[in-house]
Chains A and B, each alone.
Chain A
Amino acid sequence: MIEFYDYHLSSDCYKVRLFLNMIKLEYTRREVEFYPRREHRSEWFLRINPRGELPVLVDNGTIVQDAQEILLYLARTYDASGTWYPREDALLVGQVSMWLSFADALSQTSGAARLHDGFLYDHIDVDTCRSGAHELLRVLDEHLWFAEQQDCSWICERADPTVADIACFPDVMLAEEGGISLLNYRAIRRWTDRIKQLPGFILMPGIFDGVPA
């Protein structure tokens, strides 16, 4: 049985929910009230994850932490198609790793700005987060534009999306909640529209139905 410790407004939790739905895996959702109750810092939750961070996935007693690590775990364990995390090509494995760490960087900039604006994280230097997010978004936008010129729709050079796309999507899509406009990132917006068309795509508060590009 898969148990998923989730918070409905977390971008990191959403990416796992999204992926679970896309690979059609059943699970039991356990809401951890990150705000306002800070349940992720509570004694019972610290026993599950001593780092006090969401999300956490428990698969028959095995605890997997960290959104990116959970995506990899699920893809390796349950993706029969093998397309979400292709391992036959060493270069591609490296690409996926690079973009998963890019997703971490998005979380620490765009995600942090959103925590500042919506969750009273006032110790965050929001201007630095916003400019850091714009730097990353410029990189991603350019990367996706060049990929499109090669007839590639996704972050990695594959015909199908990979976990890298899922990992980067939420903190891009929710950037405006942290005061980061996506207006000038046209290749990114075409890419997010394509993700919204994928089978099994689900919404979260703040992410709306897509209009095809």
Chain B
Amino acid sequence: MDVLESSVPESILWDDWHAIAEWETVAGMGRLGTVLFGRPLVVTLDGEGVMVAHAGGGALPGRLKYGYVWTCLGTPQRDIIDFPEAAETDRYVAPAGSIGIAVSGLRAVENFLDLAHLPFVHRGSLGDASVTEVPDYTVTVADDGVTVTDVRAYQPVASPTATEEMLVDYRYDVLRPYTVALRKTNPIQRSRFDALALMVQPVNEERCVLHMLDLYLKEGDRDESAREFTRFIQSQDKPILENQKPRRLPLDPRAEIPVRSDASSLAYRRWLRRHGVRYGAVPENKP
């Protein structure tokens, strides 16, 4: 076990639930190995439920929610996150796909919040190369999270059900350090929002798995098209994230030079600093 694998993260990360696999993958394989905070884990079927254990033995709590298997290495201080949309019967609640990325999970969250990369990295789908300006938006940092509102983005293909380009209203809620909910205008029912959640599984301080949960309105949507869409978007983000140096997220305000459109990222970094998060980060350089 190298240095990367043995450090213990802060309680806000360690004592929380994390999505570690899709239920359907475990059901298909019967047994699945994975890694959380550098600890190798094994997920096995247990009747209708799951068992999670350390690879070397030692049971861990295992839960099923939203089609994902969740576990906690420490002592859970709060329940698995609740997405209110999951209770609405005209929505899919479906795992949309996962991808492994050799970068800190915090970097992956920051990228998800970044509006400026859309026209470049997701040209032709989530952004238009000729519309690169990011209009000002509102950011609120509270103790329990970061909220990004009043976002408007012009998107050629905003979601799997989009049939034409549209101006999309966005709202991000950073609910936990590795969990962000995104609400965006549904292409058919324009007064309602599709919801999706990014849940990052920290493999170690410099590797992670992105799990995407779709809470899309069913109208016009097919489960598989949503999965293809996520696959396409995630595969564009992967090489960009893997080229970010350092792989950990710098939390020192002087580490990188921000521009106006980076407000969401700055707020996220500030919030992580406030909670003393160091795992997967380059901590603040205090004089």
Binding site for B on A (CB under 8 A): 8-9, 31, 33, 35-38, 41-42, 117-120, 122-123, 176-177, 179, 205-206, 208
Contact = CB atoms under 8 A, between A and B. Distances in A.
Contacts of B24: 37
Given A38-B29, A177-B242, 18 more contacts: A8-B231, A9-B235, A33-B227, A33-B231, A37-B25, A42-B28, A117-B102, A117-B207, A118-B99, A118-B238, A120-B34, A120-B203, A122-B33, A122-B35, A123-B33, A177-B102, A205-B236, A206-B238
A37 B22 contact: yes
6 contacts: A37-B22, A38-B29, A120-B35, A123-B33, A205-B239, A206-B238
Contacts of A122: 33, 35, 40
B97 interface: yes
**Minimum-distance CB pairs A-B, first 8:** A205-B235, A36-B98, A206-B239, A118-B100, A117-B102, A119-B100, A37-B25, A36-B25
B101 interface: yes
A202 to B, nearest CB: 14
A151 B218 CA distance: 60
A43 to B, nearest CB: 9
A38 B235 contact: no
B120 to A, nearest CB: 12
B101 A8 contact: no
A41 B29 contact: yes
A31 B97 CA distance: 13
B199 interface: no
B249 interface: no
Contacts of B40: 122
Interface string B86-122: 0000000000011111100000000000000000000
Residue of A8, A38, A206 ringed by the most chain B CB atoms within 10 A:
A206
Contact of A208 (B99, B100, B203, B239): B239
Nearest to B211: A36
A206 B21 CA distance: 24
A35 B35 contact: no
B157 interface: no
Contacts of A36: 21-22, 25, 97-98, 209
B68 to A, nearest CB: 10
B102 A179 contact: yes
Contacts of A41: 28-29
A15 B97 CA distance: 24
Nearest to A127: B2
Contacts of A177: 102, 239, 242
A208 B24 CA distance: 33
Contact of B98 (A31, A35, A206): A35
Contacts of A176: 242
Contacts of B98: 35-36
Given A35-B98, A37-B22, A205 B238 contact: yes
Contacts of A179: 102
A119 B100 CA distance: 5
B6 to A, nearest CB: 15
Interface string B1-45: 000000000000000000001101100110001110000100000
A37 B25 CA distance: 5
Contacts of A33: 97, 227, 231
Nearest to B239: A206
